[in-house]
Structure formats: structure tokens, C-alpha cells
Amino acid sequence: MATISLSTIEQGIDTTADTVIRNESYFSDLDGLAGDGDFGTSLATGFKVIKKDLPDLDKSDIGTMLLKISMIVSKHVGGSSGPIWGTGFMKAAMPTKGKSELTLQEFADAIGNAVDGIMARGGAKLGDKTLLDAVIPVAEKLKDHAEKGTEDLAEVLKDCATIADGAVETTRSLVAHRGRASQVGERSANTPDPGIVAIATILADWCKANSVEYTPAAPEVAKASA
Ligand SMILES: [Mg+2]
């Protein structure tokens, strides 16, 4: 059975930090189209600490590592992103405590738990034009693959990247109902949500880091992952 190891997850977090740090200005520029323009800086501030501390974090098991990450995120990521991303890592840490590798089902359960936590924390749902519009369908696709017993994790990753990338387009014309962008109402229509772009870019970069061929469709994701 295909499994996901602690070091694969550690590598994924390191790649995520690179994505976020590299796009500090660009993600803030995207946020500035409809929001307050702090998204890139808020995330990058926290992920710079993660990048620096990751080699020395307690890696007794996956849950312990993720809990440490959640603490860094909660402490160092500013704005509305801190509680959202911090909750995600904290909730993913709970079912993975004591585990040094995960089956696809266990990984899907951890992501599902994170999504439920983020929904409860932020009060957003599908269609509100937040990062949940990328992560909810990704979590569902993971669950599908786990139930089918897919062995090829490259196929799973590519599917997830495609879904998140697609969410940039399907939500572009929506008016934001939650988060900072909701305060400008109509001005948020026809601008991509920076959180959705960030999730899609992270997944595109995970593909690249794992030699999975993937070409982003949304222009913002293509630019951010270049
Ligand atoms: Mg903002």
C-alpha cells in the first residue's frame, strides 16, 4: 500500500515555505486588488520562521511535527490568515499523532479534519470565495482516491493540483462573502482570491518537487509557480 512518510510531509512543508516566501510580494499584490494587500506578507512572515526552524523541530511523529508548525503559524502569521492556517495544521496534527507514515486514507482523514476545523474557525463555506473553494474539493478528491485504493500518489497529487488550479477560474467572477475581500463587495468580482491562488501554487510546486508533470492553467498560478 502506498504510504506518505514523515520526511515526505516535511519536504512538502519546506516546499510550501519556498512557494510562500518567493511570492510574498505577488500574493500581497493579488490581495490588494480586492482586500487590504497583506496576505503575502502575513504568510511569508510565518513561513520564514518555519523554513528556518523546520530542520530542528521535534519530529517524533507526524502529529508532533504538525503541532509545532501550527504553533509557529499561530504566533507568526498575521492578519486573518494566522488563525485559519494555524487551525488547519493543528487539526491535521490530531489524527496523525504517534504516526511516522500515513496511508492515503489517513492522509485524507487529516486533511478532512483540517478543512472541518478551518470551516468552523472562519465561518466560511464552499462558494464564499476563500481558500476553502480550493481545499474542500481537494479534500474530497483525496477521499475518493483513498476509497478507490489508488496506489499511484503522483496521479493523486496531479488531480489535486488540477482541482485547486481550476478553482481559481471557477471562483474568479464570484463576489467574496467572507474574509477581508467581502468588505469591498463587488470590487472582489473578477479578481482571483489570493488564498485559492496560493493553494493552487503550493500544489503545483509540490508536483514540481516530486517530478510530477503539471502545467498550471490559471495565469496567476503559472506566474506564481514559475
Ligand atoms: Mg488581506
CATH number of the domain at 137, please: 1.25.40.340
Instruction: Give the distance (Å) from ligand 1 centre to CA of residue 39.
Output: 5
Instruction: Give the distance (Å) from ligand 1 centre to CA of residue 83.
Output: 13
Q: Position of cell 512543508?
A: 13
Instruction: Give the distance (Å) from ligand 1 centre to CA of residue 140.
Output: 27
Report angle CA 224, 178, 113 to the nearest 5 degrees.
75
Counted domains in the chain: 1
Cβ neighbours of residue 152 under 8 Å, at least 6 residues apart? 2
Which pLDDT value is given to residue 134? 98
Averages of pLDDT over each 10 residues, the chain, 226 residues: 94 98 98 92 98 98 98 95 97 98 98 98 91 98 97 98 97 77 68 96 98 98 97
Which pLDDT value is given to residue 216? 98
Using DSSP, state whether 12 is helix, strand or coil. helix
pTM: 0.95
State the Cα–Cα distance between residues 79 and 41, nearest whole angstrom.
Answer: 9
State the Cα–Cα distance between residues 11 and 15, nearest whole angstrom.
Answer: 6
Using DSSP, state whether 101 is helix, strand or coil. strand
For residue 13, give Cα distances in angstroms to 8, 107, 150: 9, 14, 23
Instruction: Give the distance (Å) from ligand 1 centre to CA of residue 38.
Output: 4
Instruction: Give the distance (Å) from ligand 1 centre to CA of residue 80.
Output: 7
State the Cα–Cα distance between residues 202 and 164, nearest whole angstrom.
Answer: 10
Instruction: Give the distance (Å) from ligand 1 centre to CA of residue 93.
Output: 26
Which pLDDT value is given to residue 184? 65
Amino acid 33 reads: L
pLDDT digits (tens, 9 = 90+) for 190-199: 899 999 999 9
Instruction: Give the distance (Å) from ligand 1 centre to CA of residue 145.
Output: 34
Q: Locate 137 and state its grid cell.
A: 474539493
Its domain, for residue 58, covers 3-225
Instruction: Give the distance (Å) from ligand 1 centre to CA of residue 46.
Output: 15
Using DSSP, state whether 218 is helix, strand or coil. coil
136, 171 in Cβ contact below 8 A? Answer: no
Instruction: Give the distance (Å) from ligand 1 centre to CA of residue 101.
Output: 35
Instruction: Give the distance (Å) from ligand 1 centre to CA of residue 71.
Output: 21
pLDDT digits (tens, 9 = 90+) for 98-112: 999 999 999 999 999
Which pLDDT value is given to residue 1? 77
Instruction: Give the distance (Å) from ligand 1 centre to CA of residue 222.
Output: 22
Instruction: Give the distance (Å) from ligand 1 centre to CA of residue 146.
Output: 34
Instruction: Give the distance (Å) from ligand 1 centre to CA of residue 35.
Output: 5
Instruction: Give the distance (Å) from ligand 1 centre to CA of residue 78.
Output: 9
Which pLDDT value is given to residue 35? 85
